């Protein structure tokens, strides 16, 4: 028989829920816990099929339970009982098949429906695991101070929340808004919670709702780009040489994606046609590499240096760009300020020929 665990520190409310759900005792068994530590003990000792929890709990609050579930039982469906954010964000999270939030005072029929949906395999109102975006919305709803350590695919990152707002973020070499948008887009992540915000300065300065909407928008663009990438990067005609060029472009794109110094990149074929670009926004996709080549070609002839291999472009506002030529393929990349360009070029050549 299925087991659900309901966690709330109001004993009378907890007992009323258990009594109200008793009519379904032939379908599932109800276990209860009055605080977070008790709930985690139950989760450790028994197989629970669905967790229903409040956020404001003694001993170990609901956020800490969710963080524990994220690390140790990421496949457990969860229902959170809490008032929640804006209608726009609620609609967006529902579209993403995320956690189900039920407002207090709780309607028993709504809870029953949520429980049955959650117990169904692949129930549409629930997610198997808790995303950083969802966790941030919980923080916003409860005006929490904390530091979150987010780990995905072995990459540790940090989010700093003060009174429910995200004020700073760290991910690899990224800081502030770029790091926040990267982290919030992660789907499968482990979350650890420190109850203290370990940053003072607000470097992001954007309301949580706006930040999440922007992250969702970028995620949609990335998904669309990924879907279209196979169509975009098809060879113009059949033949081993075309297949080789396609493989070379993909290899160049993989290298650009892995290099933290590269902010954006676009890979063009020998005809200066865009074939692959970074996911999300890319300010380089409208660039015509041949226009740059027309400018530098006379210099190459004057110096008898032949065709260029790499060109470094310095622009205003500390913006730096790199144009690479590799077996007829061109890569145009926007580079992080302060990067040692010659070292970067050397690393790209090493990887592409590896």
Whether residues 256 and 187 share a domain: the answer is no
Tokens of 202: 């607000």
Q: What is the pTM of this model?
A: 0.49
Q: Is residue 229 part of a domain?
A: no
Do 18 and 85 lie in one domain? The reply is yes
- Residue 77: how many other CB atoms lie within 10 Å: 25
**Sheet containing 262-268: order of strands:** 274-277, 262-268, 329-335, 320-326, 310-314
Residue 232 in any domain: the answer is no
Same-domain status, 11 and 117 = yes
Are 177 and 224 in contact by the 8 Å Cβ rule? The answer is no
Q: Are 141 and 95 found together in one domain?
A: no
- Alpha helices by DSSP H, listed for the chain, are 11-20, 36-45, 62-72, 87-95, 108-119, 132-142, 176-184, 208-232, 240-258, 289-303, 341-352
Instruction: Give residue 211's domain range.
Output: 134-218
227 is a domain residue = no
pLDDT in the model for residue 128? 43
Q: Flag whether 268 is in a domain.
A: yes
Boundary-marking domain end, from 129, 150, 165? 129
Q: From the first residue on, what is the mean pLDDT of each consecutive set of 10 residues in the chain (354 residues)?
A: 94 93 95 95 94 88 85 83 54 49 78 85 43 82 87 90 95 92 84 88 90 82 64 49 76 88 89 84 82 68 60 82 86 89 86 76
* 264 and 320 share one domain: yes
Nearest to 345 by CA among 319, 320, 328: 320
Share of the chain above pLDDT 70, in %: 81
Report if residue 35 sits inside a domain. yes
Q: Are residues 125 and 148 in the same domain?
A: no
Q: What is the DSSP string of 279-290?
A: SS--TTTT--HH
Do 86 and 200 sit in the same domain of this protein? Answer: no
* Residue that finishes a domain, picked among 67, 96, 129: 129
Based on the fold, state whether residues 76 and 94 are members of the same structural domain: yes
CA 186 – CA 212 distance, rounded (Å): 12
Residue 13 φ/ψ, nearest 5 degrees: -65, -40
CATH number at residue 266: 3.30.450.30
The first and second tokens of residue 330, run together, are: 């061109």
Task: Flag whether 269 is in a domain.
Answer: yes
Q: How many Cα atoms are found within 13 Å in the side-chain-facing hemisphere of 318? A: 4
Name, in order, each residue with C-beta under 8 angstroms of 186's C-beta and a sequence gap of 6 or more: 131, 132, 150, 152
Q: Is 318 left (phi over 0), alpha (psi -120 to 50) or beta?
A: left
Is the domain of 269 the same as that of 346?
A: yes
Would residue 30 count as lying in a domain?
A: yes
> Do 13 and 95 share a domain, yes or no?
yes
Reported as a single tens digit per residue, the pLDDT across 263-290 is 999 998 887 888 898 887 888 887 888 7
Q: What is the pLDDT of residue 284?
A: 87
Do 258 and 204 lie in one domain? The reply is: no
CATH number reported for the structural domain that contains residue 7 in this entry:
3.40.50.2300
Query: Of the residues 129, 164, 187, which one is the last residue of a structural domain?
Result: 129
Question: Which tokens sit at 154?
Answer: 């072995």
What total number of domains does the chain contain? 3
Pair 191, 255 in one domain:
no
First to last CA, the chain: 55
In a domain, 77, yes or no: yes
């Amino acid at each position: 028989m299925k087991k659900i665990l309901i966690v709330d520190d109001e004993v009378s409310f907890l007992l009323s829920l258990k009594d109200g759900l008793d009519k379904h005792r032939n379908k599932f068994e109800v276990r209860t816990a009055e605080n977070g530590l008790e709930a985690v003990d139950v989760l450790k000792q028994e197989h629970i099929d669905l967790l229903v929890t409040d956020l404001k709990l003694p001993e170990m609050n609901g956020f800490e339970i969710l963080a524990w579930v994220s690390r140790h039982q990421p496949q457990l469906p969860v229902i959170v009982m809490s008032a929640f954010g804006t209608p726009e964000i609620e609609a967006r999270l529902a579209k993403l098949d995320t956690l189900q939030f039920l407002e207090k005072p709780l309607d028993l029929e709504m809870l029953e429906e949520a429980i049955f949906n959650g117990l169904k395999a692949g129930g549409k109102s629930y997610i198997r695991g808790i995303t950083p975006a969802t966790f941030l919305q919980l923080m916003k709803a409860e005006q929490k101070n904390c530091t979150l350590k987010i780990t995905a695919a072995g990459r540790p990152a940090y989010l700093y929340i003060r009174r429910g707002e995200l004020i700073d973020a760290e991910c690899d070499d990224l800081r502030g808004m770029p790091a926040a948008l990267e982290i919030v887009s992660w789907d499968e992540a482990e979350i650890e919670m420190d109850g203290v915000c370990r940053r003072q300065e607000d470097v992001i300065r954007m309301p949580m709702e706006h930040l999440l909407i922007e992250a969702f928008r970028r995620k949609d663009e990335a998904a669309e780009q990924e879907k279209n990438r196979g169509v975009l990067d098809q060879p113009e005609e059949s033949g081993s040489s075309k297949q080789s060029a396609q493989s070379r472009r993909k290899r160049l794109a993989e290298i650009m994606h892995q290099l933290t110094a590269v902010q954006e990149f676009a890979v063009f074929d020998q005809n200066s046609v865009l074939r692959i670009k970074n996911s999300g926004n890319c300010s380089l996709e409208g660039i015509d590499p041949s226009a740059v080549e027309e400018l530098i070609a006379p210099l190459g002839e004057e110096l008898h240096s032949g065709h260029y291999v790499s060109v470094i472009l310095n622009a205003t506002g500390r913006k730096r760009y790199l144009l690479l030529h590799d077996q007829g393929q061109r890569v145009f990349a926007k580079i992080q300020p302060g990067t040692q360009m010659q070292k970067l070029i050397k690393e790209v050549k090493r990887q592409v020929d590896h």
